[in-house]
């Protein structure tokens, strides 16, 4: 029998990249996938992929940064299906740049989507998840664990998601609910491609990004979806409150040499380096 037969799984940001592949994989395992994205158009293709894979799908347009829309979404899910077993908090946006170049309203939007959105979805899904002894998987990022150049705003939201994951896991453990975060490095999706385009030298940055993973490439969405599915399934029944790196060796070793100056941008040698000539 498929692993998620008849279970109801909400995937936010299901219209693209990791969310779309995750939705498809849950469909393959017999789930009813509630495919959420900011517009209906964005999830139409996903619905087809889930059905082709053998699952059931429902497309829902919802801005996860709006608590009223999120509450309506979760009420509809429970009203329609009578259950909610798994929540995948995947939707996210990027906001690269030095902190002094990020506008206040850009900061608010990245926090609203990447951090508050996870809070709203979790808050309104939790009563039913407790009844079902369900699971939550949050999409964080390696940069929430180790930082990343020119990315403090986005990293702050992902660090917040990791901290929320750990604390929430404590509170909901008595109800049999598990909460984990996955922390990818580079994953080749429209989000990463958009980030390449925002860099001064997109092609060189693409190559540099590939090589900064010890495995010599970025991950595929499928590789991330496999971990998400594992964390949502009983196969990971003794794992909770963890932020799990999935990073192709990107954080290993000192041996890869200094970053080229164009990749760092605005880099100045530290005082110690200047003192040493
Ligand atoms: N791609 C990477 O290299 C990478 C690395 C680490 C973490 N992540 C995280 O993984 C998650 C998925 O990333 P991806 O690369 O698949 O991105 P993506 O841009 O391909 O897909 C994200 C989806 O989220 C949707 N979305 C954005 N704002 C929304 C909102 N307010 N309400 C509802 N939906 C919204 C978008 O419309 C889009 O369909 C994100 O949380 C991202 O931060 C990605």
Residue nearest to atom 36 of ligand 1 (CA): 13
Number of helical (H) and strand (E) elements in the chain, helices listed first: 12, 7
Determine the angle formed by the axes of helices 117-132 and 152-172, rounding to 10 degrees: 20
pLDDT, residue 269, reads 46
Instruction: Identify the three-state secondary structure at position 135.
Output: strand
pLDDT confidence bin for 140, thresholds 50/70/90: very high
Give the residue with greater pLDDT, 231 vs 276: 231
pLDDT at position 267 over 50:
no
Size of the chain, expressed as the number of residues it contains? 277
Mean pLDDT of the chain: 93
Average pLDDT, stretch 10-19? Answer: 98
Q: In this structure, are residues 14 and 36 in contact, taking their beta carbons and an 8 Å threshold?
A: yes
* 154 noted as active-site residue: yes
Q: In this structure, are residues 191 and 92 in contact, taking their beta carbons and an 8 Å threshold?
A: yes
pLDDT at position 34 over 70:
yes
Q: What's the CA-to-centroid distance between 242 and ligand 1, angstroms?
A: 20
pLDDT confidence bin for 219, thresholds 50/70/90: very high
Distance in angstroms (rounded) separating the CA atoms of residues 58 and 51? 10
Tokens 């619905």 belong to: 47
Mutate to test the pocket of ligand 1, among 91, 145, 193, 227 (most ligand atoms within 8 A of CB): 91
Residues with CB under 6 A from ligand 1: 12-13, 15-19, 37-38, 42, 63-65, 90-93, 113, 117, 139, 141, 184, 186-187, 189-192
Helix, strand, coil share of the chain (percent; to 5): 50, 15, 35
Instruction: Report phi then psi at 118, rounded to 5.
Output: -65, -40
pLDDT, residue 266, reads 45
Instruction: Read off the pLDDT of residues 171-191 as tens digits, 9 standing for 90 and up.
Output: 999 999 999 999 999 999 999
pLDDT, residue 198, reads 84
- Dmax (CA) for the chain in angstroms is 69
Q: Which residues of 87-101 are buried (b: 16+ CB within 10 A; e: fewer)?
A: bbbbbbbbbbbeeee
Q: In this structure, are residues 217 and 187 in contact, taking their beta carbons and an 8 Å threshold?
A: no
Instruction: Read off the pLDDT of residues 78-126 as tens digits, 9 standing for 90 and up.
Output: 999 999 999 999 999 999 999 999 999 999 999 999 999 999 999 999 9
Average pLDDT, stretch 191-215? Answer: 90
- At the second CATH level, the architecture of 8-187+219-250 is 3-Layer(aba) Sandwich (3.40)
Distance in angstroms (rounded) separating the CA atoms of residues 89 and 243? 14
């Amino acid at each position: 029998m498929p692993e998620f037969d008849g279970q109801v799984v909400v995937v936010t940001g299901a219209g693209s990249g990791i969310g779309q592949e995750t939705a498809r994989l849950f469909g393959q395992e017999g789930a009813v996938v509630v495919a959420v994205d900011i517009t209906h158009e964005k999830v139409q293709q996903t619905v087809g992929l889930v059905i082709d894979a053998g699952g059931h799908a429902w497309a829902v347009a919802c801005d996860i940064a709006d608590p009223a829309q999120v509450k309506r979404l979760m009420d509809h899910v429970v009203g329609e299906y009578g259950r909610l077993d798994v929540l995948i908090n995947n939707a996210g946006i990027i906001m690269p740049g030095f902190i002094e170049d990020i506008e206040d309203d850009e900061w608010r939007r990245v926090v609203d989507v990447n951090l508050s959105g996870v809070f709203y979805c979790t808050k309104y899904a939790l009563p039913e998840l407790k009844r079902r002894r369900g699971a939550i998987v949050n999409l964080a990022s390696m940069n929430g664990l180790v930082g990343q150049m020119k990315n403090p705003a986005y990293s702050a939201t992902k660090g917040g998601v990791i901290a929320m994951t750990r604390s929430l896991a404590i509170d909901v453990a008595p109800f049999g609910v598990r909460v984990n975060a996955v922390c990818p490095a580079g994953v080749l999706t429209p989000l990463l491609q958009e980030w390449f385009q925002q860099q001064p030298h997109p092609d060189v940055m693409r190559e540099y990004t590939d090589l900064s993973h010890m495995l010599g490439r970025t991950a595929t969405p499928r590789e991330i979806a496999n971990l998400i599915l594992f964390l949502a399934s009983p196969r990971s029944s003794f794992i909770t409150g963890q932020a799990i790196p999935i990073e192709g060796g990107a954080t290993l070793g000192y041996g890869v040499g200094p970053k080229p100056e164009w990749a760092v941008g605005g880099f100045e040698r530290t005082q110690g380096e200047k003192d040493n000539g």
